Amino acid sequence: MTGIDRIIENALLEDIHTGDITTLSVVPHKRPAKARLLAKEPLVLAGLLVAEKVFITLDKHVSFKHLSADGDTIAKGDLIATMEGDASVLLQGERVALNLLQRMCGTATLTAKYVEAVAGTKARIVDTRKTTPGLRVLEKYAVRVGGGVNHRTGLYDGVLIKENHIVAAGGITQAINSARAYIPHTLKIEIETETISQVEEALAAGAEIIMLDNMDLDTIRSAVALVNGRALLEASGGVSLETVRPIAETGVDIISVGALTHSARAMDISMLLEDY
């Protein structure tokens, strides 16, 4: 993962700013303390190293003991980690560490549910760019921990021609031809389609990946039969845990789910301070 130091530093600055008034006024200076991270509901763990790094950023002398690892399935009541250090440091890092950890666990847990739902099919569950601004690297990591696959990271590392690009370029064929002339041979071209006729045009123009946007199951099946393995097919739009299995059973290769990152619920995790 990259950019994590900047994410943590910005989050700590946002929360602590000029100083934690409550801790400074209540907690004795250099008071040693212990704390534990406790799961208050079942979850897939993701982001424990990030949580540790929050405390280490505040004080490199904090001792952080991992009792589980990212990717582990955690039961309600399980201890995730313990730590020792200056009480004021533990208190100042608590909310930032939990915010990041809870969000990442939420994404990993939801992703695992989608992956389980399509088990036995060839479909892969992938994420989208619908991430929390500034937290994309963490959320996409959590998707991988949950068993999903990352789509492009940003606008810079993959070609995905969407409906507005098609309008601006003057059509599907024109957009694909322009992209092919611009990009290196190492990149694939993906294009969004909404109808079978658009799928036909995209295939004829040489698209390697064709997105089937908000198509019903019958139309998706028709697209799978038409393409017949000549391009990868990605189903997208309004996918839920209730609909993902039927979509996977049509024979598509990829199912992109924006909800993995834009609608994952933060998992319930507490940090409890103990007397030293």
- Catalytic site residues? 95, 130, 162, 192, 213
CA distance 171 to 162: 11
- Count CA atoms within 13 Å of residue 147 on its CB side: 16
* Cβ atoms of 245 and 99 closer than 8 Å: no
Give DSSP secondary structure letters for the chain: --SHHHHHHHHHHHHHTT--HHHHHHSPTT-EEEEEEEESS-EE---HHHHHHHHHHH-TT-EEEESS-TT-EE-TT-EEEEEEEEHHHHHHHHHHHHHHHHHHHHHHHHHHHHHHHTTTSS-EEE--S---TT-HHHHHHHHHHTT-B---SSTTS-EEE-HHHHHHHTSHHHHHHHHHHHS-TTS-EEEEESSHHHHHHHHHTT-SEEEEES--HHHHHHHHHHHTTSSEEEEESS--TTTHHHHHTTT-SEEE-THHHHSPPPP-EEEEEE--
CA distance 26 to 84: 19
Q: Which of 196, 237, 234, 244 is nearest to 214 (CA)?
A: 237
